[in-house]
Structure 1
Amino acid sequence: MTVLITLGPLLAALLFGFWINIKIFTPSRVAKGLESLVYLILGLIGFSLGALENLSEKLIVAGYQAIVLLALISFFNLSGLYLSGLRFKATHTSNSPKQESSHNLAQVFIEAAKTLSWVIAGVVIGIFFGDTFTEVDATVTYLLYFLLFLIGCQLRQGNYRLRKLFLNPQGVIIALVAITTTLTAGLIGCSILELEWNHGLAVVSGFGWYSLSGILITGLGDPILGTTAFLLDLGREILILMLIPFLSRISSHISVGFSGATAMDFTLPMLGKFHGADIVPICISSGLIMSLLVPILIPLFLGFSH
Structure 2
Amino acid sequence: MTIIATLGPLLIALLFGYWVNIKLFTPARVAKGLEQLVYLILGLIGFSLGALDNLAEKLFIAGYQALVFFALISVISLTGLYLSGLRFGGTHADSLAQGPSDSKTHALIDALKTIAWVIGGVVIGMFAKDWLTGVDELVTGLLYVLLFLIGCQLRQGNHRLRKLFLNVQGVIIALVTIVTTLLAGWIGSLILGLSWNQGLAVVSGFGWYSLSGILITGLGDPVLGTTAFLLDLSREILALMLIPFLARLNSHMSVGYSGATAMDFTLPMLGKFHGAQIVPVCIASGFIMSILVPILIPLFMGIS
Same fold? TM cut 0.5: yes
In structure 2, what is the equivalent of residue 223 of structure 1?
A: none
Q: Residues 282 and 162 of structure 1: is their aligned pair in 2 closer, same or farther, counting only changes over 3 Å?
A: same
CA distance in 2, matches of 1:2, 1:77: 31
Number of residue pairs matched?
Answer: 274
1:129 aligns with 2:128: yes
Higher mean C-alpha displacement, 31-40 vs 60-69 = 60-69
How much has 1:117 moved relative to structure 2?
Answer: 1.9
How much has 1:186 moved relative to structure 2?
Answer: 4.0
Kept in 2, the 8 Å contact 1:45–1:122? The answer is: yes
1:159 aligns with 2:158: yes
Kept in 1, the 8 Å contact 2:81–2:256? The answer is: yes
CA distance in 2, matches of 1:214, 1:35: 18
In structure 1, what is the equivalent of residue 24 of structure 2?
A: 24
CA distance in 2, matches of 1:182, 1:156: 27
CA distance in 2, matches of 1:173, 1:138: 37
CA distance in 1, matches of 2:4, 2:165: 17
Of 280, 286, 291 in structure 1, the residue corresponding to residue 289 of structure 2 is 286
CA distance in 2, matches of 1:294, 1:163: 24
Q: Residues 28 and 72 of structure 1: is their aligned pair in 2 closer, same or farther, counting only changes over 3 Å?
A: same
How much has 1:60 moved relative to structure 2?
Answer: 5.1
Deviations 1:179-206 (A, max 9, x none): 4344346436635x5x4xxx46343111
TM-score w.r.t. the length of structure 1 is 0.67
Kept in 1, the 8 Å contact 2:11–2:294? The answer is: no
In structure 2, what is the equivalent of residue 40 of structure 1?
A: 40
Q: Residues 134 and 163 of structure 1: is their aligned pair in 2 closer, same or farther, counting only changes over 3 Å?
A: farther
In structure 2, what is the equivalent of residue 3 of structure 1?
A: 3
- Flag structure 1 segments of 5+ consecutive residues without an equivalent: 219-225, 257-262
In structure 1, what is the equivalent of residue 272 of structure 2?
A: none
CA distance in 2, matches of 1:245, 1:187: 26
Deviations 1:194-232 (A, max 9, x none): x4xxx463431112445666788x8xxxxxxx6763442
SS in 2 for 1:36: helix
SS in 2 for 1:132: coil
1:149 aligns with 2:152: no
Of 272, 278, 296 in structure 1, the residue corresponding to residue 264 of structure 2 is 272
In structure 2, what is the equivalent of residue 234 of structure 1?
A: 229
1:253 aligns with 2:248: no
CA distance in 2, matches of 1:286, 1:146: 20
CA distance in 2, matches of 1:175, 1:49: 33
Deviations 1:134-191 (A, max 9, x none): 3333333333322222233233333333445678753565245334344346436635
CA distance in 1, matches of 2:185, 2:290: 19
CA distance in 1, matches of 2:32, 2:218: 31
How much has 1:55 moved relative to structure 2?
Answer: 1.7
How much has 1:123 moved relative to structure 2?
Answer: 1.8
Kept in 2, the 8 Å contact 1:91–1:252? The answer is: no
Question: Which amino acid is the alignment partner of residue 129 of structure 1?
Answer: A
Deviations 1:225-270 (A, max 9, x none): x6763442232244345556556766331122xxxxxx4xxxx7x9
Question: Which amino acid is the alignment partner of residue 252 of structure 1?
Answer: V
Kept in 2, the 8 Å contact 1:44–1:136? The answer is: yes
CA distance in 1, matches of 2:162, 2:265: 23
Kept in 2, the 8 Å contact 1:44–1:122? The answer is: yes
In structure 2, what is the equivalent of residue 109 of structure 1?
A: 108
In structure 2, what is the equivalent of residue 204 of structure 1?
A: 199
Q: Residues 23 and 37 of structure 1: is their aligned pair in 2 closer, same or farther, counting only changes over 3 Å?
A: same
Question: Which amino acid is the alignment partner of residue 141 of structure 1?
Answer: T
Kept in 1, the 8 Å contact 2:213–2:228? The answer is: yes
In structure 1, what is the equivalent of residue 68 of structure 2?
A: 68
Q: Residues 25 and 188 of structure 1: is their aligned pair in 2 closer, same or farther, counting only changes over 3 Å?
A: closer
TM-score w.r.t. the length of structure 2 is 0.67
How much has 1:98 moved relative to structure 2?
Answer: 8.7
